[in-house]
């Protein structure tokens, strides 16, 4: 019984406490409300919408989950009949607190039936209400530490509710409190309350049967008899945090084919927990009907889940989803659950997923590799017991829910990535790479590979993760990882993806063209100037009303197939070595290629391409060249941060970026590029055939053939009685225009101003490495 009353050993204090109610009116008049009530008026309201979130009618106890001492604690009873707050001793131990922090306490806890319990002591701990948003609130509460058997982990009494200034409504099944940001509401779990009531009922029946069987047992005066611990059924260990539920080994015999022994039972440090939005109402999906063949396939798939202990029977679910059967290429059926409504009610887990490109780079260049695959990897993560029935679904045999995580859940990928990152924290980045359920063990020297595999297997045994030997490959020099072929030579495109495009017939609809461009997008890293090759396809997609596969599209289709037949092998950069960048500009796109130098050989690392849209098409040629550089820096940011980048260009790109007087966007780009170590050098001869597309920075359609390399300089000077200055206009051979003005700080005549303008122009021409110059001026003296 959670009802309690604090009995202070000082009779004088008890009398004083009783007299406070008699003098309430006088005392209230003398209270400074600023000490207890925030200056901002925050009304607390209960509406019918609050009540609609829960089942009615009900008489359920108010059960909450809240962080105590920074650790989430489940099964906390909010009891307005309890004077003090209580923390069970077993809960105290699981919180990992220091027993020395418990202060002696002479108080006693009196139950509803008059029984007396003496606390072990008391401890002051913070408890947070209202989640972690702006409308949450933390109070410091003194908990009485009690060593009794109870379904609850803690009890929140009136002292805490008073500090919180909380209002409790049983009808609305809500606990609300004022905050600076407005009304705060704490999440409640009605289903947990009913499961606890069911657990308590089953224990009482068991106690009665035990006493009837043995008439010599005397009834106890206390509901919680510390000496009769055998009268309770230990159904399950009551979870305190999200890390206390063990992961049951799934099909351990499959692991014995890979490892020399079965993995031991181990308590996992991860489980799937869905934080539901209490404002979104529970939904019960309409049950779908299936034909005989689909119904048979459905029963077979559900039987597999039951045999593998991935699901269990659901009794009182509040969320019920529908099954969806999808036909595989083999003709069999794949069972999927439509968790659309459930996923909408769950917040997104923003745990970062590794970047594929740079993980592939870290994998290439190793002599031996082993590719591991977990047996139904997602299904090896247990669902949190409170959330298991949220995954309920209909079947012909009844209602079932997942006890192990399923891939259709919104945060399944992030949960699995967090778990494997914790498992292999000491190996990731050294001898192992993990992307969700794709695991790879790598060794630079073949002689070390057995040792590296042993380290991985030790961790797999420790965490009881089961592998699928049919999908594992051990000790190979190359293999498929995250859609790429990785080997000691470098990174190659997936031959299956290339062959799928080579086997395609010319598209006959817009969807066909979209499918083609989607497949090409997966190979963009390997295709030089991919946007230029695909421009006719993009134009065809835009014509939605009148699709036409033109001769230009067919020529581009044939050309891209030829390009795919000779894709290069990309290289992994060595640490701290300089990388080189070539730029290319066309009428419709900007492109770049990042390369590394291996002796006299130039090897590609990454191709980048971007289509120009709207105002970008109107950029001057020099700005398009700078735009190609900024696109490459953004796309290849990790390379730019870790390496010195040398940009090969025949144009004065550095001078333009460091003197961005004519364009505001050039100033922004110059500032953004300032964080990288970038050098500019004149172009040298391109020695690699795979870089042939970058022989010219501007395609013939962008820049006309330059026969005369002479630049033109226009200068003019002006002088007044107050100041003097000059103007400079420099025109490149391809008609790029650069305008500058100069203000003189000394008095000068018109002719002197003309001379000074000319000298300033010559200095500027020298900084831009102009070798041939024609000067135009209206000064007769010049």
Q: Are residues 717 and 661 in the same domain?
A: no
The pLDDT of residue 695 is: 60
User: Is residue 617 one of the residues assigned to a domain?
Assistant: yes
Contact 717, 750 (CB under 8 A): yes
Q: Are residues 639 and 749 in the same domain?
A: no
Q: Are residues 255 and 237 in the same domain?
A: no
Contact 134, 160 (CB under 8 A): no
Rounded distance, CA 731 to CA 491, Å?
A: 44
CATH (domain of 398): 3.10.10.10
Q: Are residues 14 and 115 in the same domain?
A: yes
Residue 447 pLDDT more than 50? yes
Contact 431, 452 (CB under 8 A): yes
- 3-class DSSP state for residue 53? coil
- Reported as a single tens digit per residue, the pLDDT across 34-61 is 444 444 567 888 887 777 676 677 777 8
Q: Among 69-83, 94-108, 190-204, 549-563, whose mean pLDDT is lowest?
A: 190-204
Task: Identify the band that residue 602 occupies on the pLDDT scale cut at 50, 70 and 90.
Answer: confident
Q: How many CA atoms lie within 13 A of 32 on its CB side?
A: 2
Last-in-domain residue among 535, 564, 593? 564
Q: Are residues 143 and 274 in the same domain?
A: no
User: Is residue 481 one of the residues assigned to a domain?
Assistant: no
User: Is residue 690 one of the residues assigned to a domain?
Assistant: yes
- Reported as a single tens digit per residue, the pLDDT across 333-361 is 778 888 888 888 888 888 888 888 888 88
User: Is residue 248 one of the residues assigned to a domain?
Assistant: yes
Residue 170 pLDDT more than 70? yes
Residue 742 pLDDT more than 60? yes
Q: Among 196-210, 315-329, 447-461, 505-519, whose mean pLDDT is lowest?
A: 196-210
Last-in-domain residue among 427, 448, 475? 475
Query: Six-digit token pair at 236?
Result: 């399950």
Which percentage of the chain shows pLDDT scores above 70? 76
- Segments forming the whole domain that contains residue 751: 711-776
User: Is residue 480 one of the residues assigned to a domain?
Assistant: no
Phi, psi of 481, rounded to the nearest 5 degrees:
-140, 120
Q: Are residues 24 and 143 in the same domain?
A: yes
- Reported as a single tens digit per residue, the pLDDT across 173-187 is 888 888 888 888 886
CATH (domain of 765): 3.30.420.10
Tokens 């925030």 identify what position? 38
Contact 262, 464 (CB under 8 A): no
Q: Are residues 199 and 73 in the same domain?
A: yes
Last-in-domain residue among 241, 272, 296? 241
Decide the pairing of beta strands 392-395 and 398-402. Answer: antiparallel
- Which among 773, 776, 781, 661 has a CA at the least distance from the CA of 716? 776
User: Is residue 339 one of the residues assigned to a domain?
Assistant: yes
Rounded distance, CA 496 to CA 514, Å?
A: 19
- Reported as a single tens digit per residue, the pLDDT across 97-140 is 888 888 888 887 877 666 788 888 999 999 988 877 778 888 99
Mean pLDDT for the stretch of residues 603-627: 87
Rounded distance, CA 479 to CA 467, Å?
A: 18
Q: Are residues 542 and 650 in the same domain?
A: no
Mean pLDDT for the stretch of residues 582-600: 88
Ranked by mean pLDDT, the top range of 221-235, 239-253, 263-277 is 263-277
Q: Are residues 558 and 633 in the same domain?
A: no
With a CB cutoff of 8 Å and minimum separation 6, the contacts of 659 are 740
Q: Are residues 683 and 761 in the same domain?
A: no
82: preceding bond cis by omega (within 30 degrees): no
Query: Six-digit token pair at 586?
Result: 């066309």
Mean pLDDT for the stretch of residues 524-541: 87
Mean pLDDT for the stretch of residues 649-672: 78
User: Is residue 323 one of the residues assigned to a domain?
Assistant: yes
The pLDDT of residue 708 is: 52
- 3-class DSSP state for residue 456? helix
Q: Is the dihedral of CA 287, 293, 296, 301 positive or negative?
A: negative
Q: Return mean pLDDT, the chain.
A: 76
If one counts the domains in the chain, the total is 5
**Helices 495-502, 551-564: inter-axial angle, 10-degree rounding:** 150
User: Is residue 760 one of the residues assigned to a domain?
Assistant: yes
The pLDDT of residue 739 is: 79
Helix H or strand E segment including 764: helix 750-767
Q: Higher pLDDT residue, 36 or 233?
A: 36
Q: Are residues 72 and 139 in the same domain?
A: yes
Q: Are residues 499 and 385 in the same domain?
A: no
Rounded distance, CA 177 to CA 183, Å?
A: 6
Which percentage of the chain shows pLDDT scores above 90? 7
């Amino acid at each position: 019984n959670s009802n309690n009353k604090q009995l202070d050993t000082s009779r004088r204090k008890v009398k004083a406490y009783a007299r406070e109610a008699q003098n309430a009116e006088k005392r209230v008049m003398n209270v400074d409300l600023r000490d207890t009530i925030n200056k901002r008026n925050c009304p607390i309201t209960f509406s019918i919408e609050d009540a609609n979130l829960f089942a009615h009618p009900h008489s359920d106890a108010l059960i909450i989950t809240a962080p105590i001492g920074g650790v989430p604690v489940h099964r906390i009873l909010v009891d307005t009949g309890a004077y003090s707050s209580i923390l069970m001793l077993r809960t105290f131990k699981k919180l990992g607190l220091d027993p020395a922090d418990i202060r002696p306490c002479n108080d006693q806890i009196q139950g509803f039936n008059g029984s007396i319990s003496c606390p072990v002591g008391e401890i002051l701990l913070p408890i947070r209400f209202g989640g972690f948003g702006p409308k949450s609130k933390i109070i410091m509460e003194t908990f009485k530490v009690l060593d009794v058997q109870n379904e609850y982990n803690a009890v929140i009494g009136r002292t805490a509710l008073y500090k919180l200034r909380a209002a409790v409504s049983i009808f609305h099944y809500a606990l609300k409190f004022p905050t600076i940001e407005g009304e705060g509401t704490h999440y409640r779990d009605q289903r947990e309350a009913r499961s606890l009531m069911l657990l308590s009922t089953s224990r009482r029946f068991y106690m009665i049967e035990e006493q009837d069987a043995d008439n010599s047992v005397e009834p106890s005066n206390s509901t919680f008899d510390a000496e009769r611990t055998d009268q309770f059924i230990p159904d399950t260990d009551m979870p305190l945090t999200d890390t206390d539920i063990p992961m049951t080994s799934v099909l351990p015999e499959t692991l014995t084919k890979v490892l020399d022994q079965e993995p031991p039972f181990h308590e996992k440090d991860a489980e799937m927990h869905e934080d539901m939005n209490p404002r979104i109402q529970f939904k019960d999906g309409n049950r779908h009907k299936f034909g005989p063949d689909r119904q048979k396939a459905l029963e077979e798939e559900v039987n597999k889940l039951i045999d593998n202990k991935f699901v269990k029977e659901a009794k009182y679910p509040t969320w019920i989803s529908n099954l969806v059967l999808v036909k595989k290429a083999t003709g069999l059926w794949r069972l999927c659950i439509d968790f659309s409504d459930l996923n909408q009610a769950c917040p997104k887990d923003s745990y970062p997923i590794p970047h594929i490109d740079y993980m592939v780079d870290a994998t290439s260049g190793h002599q031996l590799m082993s590719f591991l695959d977990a047996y139904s990897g997602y299904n090896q993560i247990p669902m949190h017991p409170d959330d298991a029935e949220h995954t309920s679904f209909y079947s012909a045999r009844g209602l079932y829910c997942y006890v192990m995580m399923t891939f259709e859940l919104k945060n399944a990928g992030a949960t699995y990535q967090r778990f494997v990152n914790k498992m292999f924290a000491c190996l990731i980045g050294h001898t192992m790479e993990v992307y969700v359920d794709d695991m790879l063990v790598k060794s630079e020297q073949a002689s070390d590979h057995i040792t590296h595999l042993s380290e991985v297997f030790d961790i797999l045994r420790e965490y009881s993760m089961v592998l699928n030997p049919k999908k594992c490959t051990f000790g190979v020099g190359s293999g498929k990882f995250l859609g790429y072929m990785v080997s000691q030579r470098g990174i190659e495109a997936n031959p299956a993806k290339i062959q799928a495009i080579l086997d395609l017939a010319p598209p006959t609809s817009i969807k066909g063209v979209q499918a083609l461009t989607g497949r090409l997008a997966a190979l963009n890293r390997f295709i030089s100037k991919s946007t230029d090759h695909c421009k006719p396809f993009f134009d065809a997609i835009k014509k939605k009303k009148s699709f036409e596969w033109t001769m230009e599209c067919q020529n581009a289709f044939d050309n891209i197939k030829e390009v795919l037949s000779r894709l290069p092998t990309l290289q992994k950069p060595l640490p701290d070595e300089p990388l080189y960048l070539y730029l290319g500009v066309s009428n419709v796109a900007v492109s770049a290629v990042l390369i590394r130098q291996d002796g006299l050989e130039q090897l590609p690392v990454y191709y980048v391409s971007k289509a120009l849209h709207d105002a970008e098409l109107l950029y001057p040629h020099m700005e398009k060249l700078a735009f190609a550089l900024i696109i490459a820096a953004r796309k290849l940011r990790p390379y730019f941060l870790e390496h010195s980048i040398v940009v090969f260009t025949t144009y004065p790109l550095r001078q333009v970026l460091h003197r961005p007087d004519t364009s505001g966007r050039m100033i922004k780009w110059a500032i953004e590029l300032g964080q990288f170590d970038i050098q500019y050098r004149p172009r040298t001869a391109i020695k690699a055939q795979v870089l042939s597309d970058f022989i010219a920075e501007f395609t013939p359609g962008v820049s006309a053939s330059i026969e005369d390399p002479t630049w033109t300089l226009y200068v003019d000077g002006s002088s007044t009685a107050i100041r003097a200055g000059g103007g400079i206009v420099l025109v490149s051979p391809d008609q790029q225009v650069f305008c500058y003005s100069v203000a003189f700080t000394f008095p000068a005549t018109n002719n002197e101003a003309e001379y000074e303008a000319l000298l300033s122009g010559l200095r500027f021409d020298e900084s831009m490495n102009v070798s041939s110059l024609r000067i135009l001026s209206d000064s007769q003296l010049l």
